[in-house]
Structure 1
Amino acid sequence: MPVYRLYLDTAEWANSNQGVLSVIIFLVSMFLGWVSGIFSALIMKPKFKIDLIEGPTFCCTFPIGLRHFENEVHRTGFVLYLKISNIGFSPSSICDISIAYHWSLKPFSLLWLRYSIGWFWLHRQSVSIHDFQVEIGENIKFYPFLTQRSVVSGKEQSTYLKVGQEINGVVYFEQEDSWGGCFPAVKGGKVAIKVQVRDAFGRKYSRKCFIPPLSLEEARKFNPSFGTTHAKLRNQKLPFDGFE
């Protein structure tokens, strides 16, 4: 029978070429081990998931009482209450958090193409002078910081995330002096931002979100020192109250 004949021919070839067969088996084993190693390396990676949770999440642009030629100088603060989860297969640490937004510029200029179509990035967080908070009846709830030590409790969270572990907290960004259209564009009552987290292996995880713009008065209900970090560092007096 043809199948039986094929079996005999295969067996005869294997007996006559044992050296070649050993080399083939070795090469196949090496290849499968290599593929298995790559597959394991691809699987055993951290993977961070970024979420916004209910709390102090907003942006606010405010004047600082200076002028740049004919333009009023302003600053913009961003507050995000984030939850970051490690849904991968390996632990890692949160090393950097950056945010980006679109400038509010008139169309068809060079800057419009760069920062209204593209993104303007803030790569360095600012230290908040006070904890963010909210009044709940007669009590005050203080929100934890993500990467900063709490002013109230003195506690600082660990940003090392094991597999399946998550962390939540506030991050604060305060932009340097700006003018003109260098502030967030508002569309449909929201500001589009991009949040980017970098882990200890240099991997980056991003998410696009939409946050509300608030007035300075509304923003300072969450934090009485909102918008004063740069001013404090420079011993600069601001036009709004509450700053000493």
Structure 2
Amino acid sequence: MLSLINLDIGKHVAASVKWLNENQGVVSLGIFLSALLLGWASGIFSSLRRKPKFKTKLIDGPTFLCVFPTGETFGGHDVHRIGIALYLSVANTGSAASSIDAVHIGYRWNMIPFTQGWFRHTLFRHWLQERTAALEDFQVAIGANVKVYPFLFQKNAISLVHQETFLQPGQSVVGIVYFEQPDSWGGCQPRVWHGRARLAVRLLDAFGGRHTSRFWVPVLKLDEARKFNPSFGRTLAELHGKPLPGEDA
């Protein structure tokens, strides 16, 4: 029985060898097309793997959040605004170059459990997508000198520094992003634990990719925030022509 099986295998091998010898052109063409197809597919897969990846860190300094009143009321609630300054370090740790197109800030509302809208606003983040132009540079006095912090997108007024937000793989950039949330009231503000609030920082690249990191950010009072920028929180007030409480028009 074993000899019959071996004989049958030998016949198939001999037939295969004969067919290959008689059809070398077809075999060569098949090998060429297969290699071409594999090379094309590997090129596509390689290009698909080439993506930017932005890694974000917070730097000590003008990195904080501030909730301050506007002096107005709505529906029996005091109206407030939120100012956020984040001193970011962004590195492209991916395999493709790209620019930082936008920065969004997200947080969950500070609402009483099981009240109307509580589930929606505590499950999903409220996102600030429009950056605010700061009226002055962020700076701090160090002895007889003044350190001016660069903005990530906005030009500095004093040093005229403009950061490069197009990053090759391995490159990084630092800068401040500044937000003022428009008039809000009630629980439309971050929940604060031990003087800090939890924020999500989402960077968008030029290809539409999203890169999200989460941080605990210090919460300061308005007078403390203005030690870094005397005009902190004043941009929307200037635009609306309505000064904040205790400030001249």
Structure 1 partner of 2:3 = none
**Residue 47 in structure 1 maps to residue 53 in structure 2:** yes
Residue 124 of structure 2: which of 89, 102, 118 is its match?
Answer: 118
Residue 76 of structure 1: which of 64, 71, 82 is its match?
Answer: 82
Structure 1 partner of 2:200 = 194
- Matched residue type, 2:44: I
Q: Distance in 1 between matches of 2:180 and 2:199?
A: 14
Question: What residue ranges of structure 2 are gaps of 5+ in the alignment?
Answer: 1-6
Cα displacement (A) at 1:57: 0.7
Q: Secondary structure at the match of 2:185?
A: coil
- Matched residue type, 2:201: V
Cα displacement (A) at 1:115: 1.8
Q: Distance in 2 between matches of 1:189 and 1:9?
A: 82
Structure 2 partner of 1:219 = 225
Structure 2 partner of 1:85 = 91
Q: Secondary structure at the match of 2:30?
A: helix
Q: Secondary structure at the match of 2:39?
A: helix
- Matched residue type, 1:117: L
CA deviation profile, 1:186-218 (whole Å, cap 9, x unmatched): 124321111111111111111111111111111
Structure 1 partner of 2:143 = 137
Q: Distance in 1 between matches of 2:10 and 2:144?
A: 89
Residue 65 of structure 1: which of 67, 71, 82 is its match?
Answer: 71
Structure 1 partner of 2:4 = none
Q: 1:188 to 1:14 in 2, by over 3 A?
A: farther
Cα displacement (A) at 1:13: 2.9
- Matched residue type, 2:224: E
Q: Distance in 2 between matches of 1:80 and 1:184?
A: 15
Q: 1:117 to 1:20 in 2, by over 3 A?
A: same
Structure 2 partner of 1:21 = 27
**Residue 151 in structure 1 maps to residue 160 in structure 2:** no
Deviates more, 1:90-99 or 1:71-80: 90-99
- Matched residue type, 1:147: F
Q: Secondary structure at the match of 1:30?
A: helix
- Matched residue type, 1:71: H
Deviates more, 1:178-187 or 1:102-111: 102-111
Cα displacement (A) at 1:3: 10
Deviates more, 1:18-27 or 1:180-189: 18-27
**Residue 168 in structure 1 maps to residue 189 in structure 2:** no
Q: Is the 1:129–1:151 contact (alpha carbons within 8 Å) kept by the matching residues of 2? A: no
- Matched residue type, 1:111: G
Give the number of aligned pairs: 243
**Residue 204 in structure 1 maps to residue 210 in structure 2:** yes
Deviates more, 1:228-237 or 1:109-118: 109-118
Q: Distance in 1 between matches of 2:178 and 2:199?
A: 14
CA deviation profile, 1:127-154 (whole Å, cap 9, x unmatched): 0001111222232211100000102122
- How well do the aligned residues superpose, as a CA RMSD in angstroms? 2.3
Q: Secondary structure at the match of 1:222?
A: coil
Quick one: percent identity of the two aligned structures?
46
Q: Distance in 1 between matches of 2:177 and 2:212?
A: 15
Q: Distance in 2 between matches of 1:180 and 1:98?
A: 22
Q: Secondary structure at the match of 1:46?
A: coil
